[in-house]
Structures are given as C-alpha cells and as structure tokens.
Amino acid sequence: MLRTERLDLPPLEATHAAIYADPAVSAYIGGSRLSLEGTRTQVALFEAIWREHGHGQSAVIERATGRVIGRAGLHYWPDGMLELGYVIARYAQGKGYAREAGEAWLAWTWANLPNDHITAVIHPDNAASIGLALRLGFRFDHQTDKLTGTTVSIYRLDRPA
C-alpha cells in the first residue's frame, strides 16, 4: 500500500466504489454507464489488473478521517498503454489530494516499472483533470475515439532522465 503525508492508497475494492454515486464526479469517466452494475464491472476490472500486475487503481483514503475520497493509480488499456488515472469526490476537490496521489503513483512507477512513458486519458471537457495532468508534467499528445467510443485526449509523460 502506498502512503503519502495525508493519504493511504490501498488496492481499490468494491467497497470503495461509492465515489461514483455523485453524477458530477462520474460525468467524465463513464457517466450513465456507471450504474450500480457498470460500477461493479469497472471495479472488477480494476481488481483483475491488481491480480495480474501487482499494482493498479487504489482507493484514496484521507488518513485524518478514514474516508474514501476517490481513486487513483495505474490502469492498463487493452492495447497495453499504461495510464495514470484519478477521481476525487466533489467535497474533497481543490485540496491537492489528486496531485498528492498522482505524484505518489508516478514515483512508484518510475522506481518499479520499465515503461519509458505513462499516459493520462482525459475527456476533452474535463478542465480540472487536464490542469492536474499538466501540473504533473504531462503534455498533450493526441485525441482518439478508439479507447472508449467517445473522443478522449491522451496526455503523455516521459520517464525522467
């Protein structure tokens, strides 16, 4: 389990999925597809990635309160592309939690994986997520509709020298 100054980042499990209950939070990551059944399917995928790779999406738990405030971590797309993703509950946004979790996962990635780069897959209208990706050092690479069936922007971060 990763830990930061304020956060615990254990493997994401079905018990952590309540974050998707807020439509404003899920709007850019699947929206209406994240019904109860859609959420179960997504969490099962994240759990399978942990089993296969030994890492993946983690719950973001605010250590001071013990509350699950989101998810962050690594995701493998079917084409093998490695993504850093993050989702934070609306009431916890603007406090630097996503950045803190993202920085922890990036440090872990560079220390433990051989990848020469990592991506962030972001809906083009999600200004907050794009802003965080840029602050983390990602740069716009291209757009595609081949991953999710809707247009997404792919941001890329190369391994530090």
**What is the pLDDT confidence band of residue 151, given thresholds at 50, 70 and 90?**
very high
pLDDT tens across 7-22, in order?
Answer: 999 998 876 666 555 5
Q: Which pair of tokens denotes residue 76?
A: 């493998």
The runs of H, that is alpha helices, within 12-91 are: 23-26, 36-53
Name 7's bridge partners. Answer: 62
- The reported pTM is 0.86
User: Any residues with CB less than 8 A from the CB of 94 and at least 6 apart, and which?
Assistant: none
pLDDT tens across 98-147, in order?
Answer: 999 999 999 999 999 999 999 999 999 999 999 999 999 999 999 999 98
pLDDT of residue 39: 65
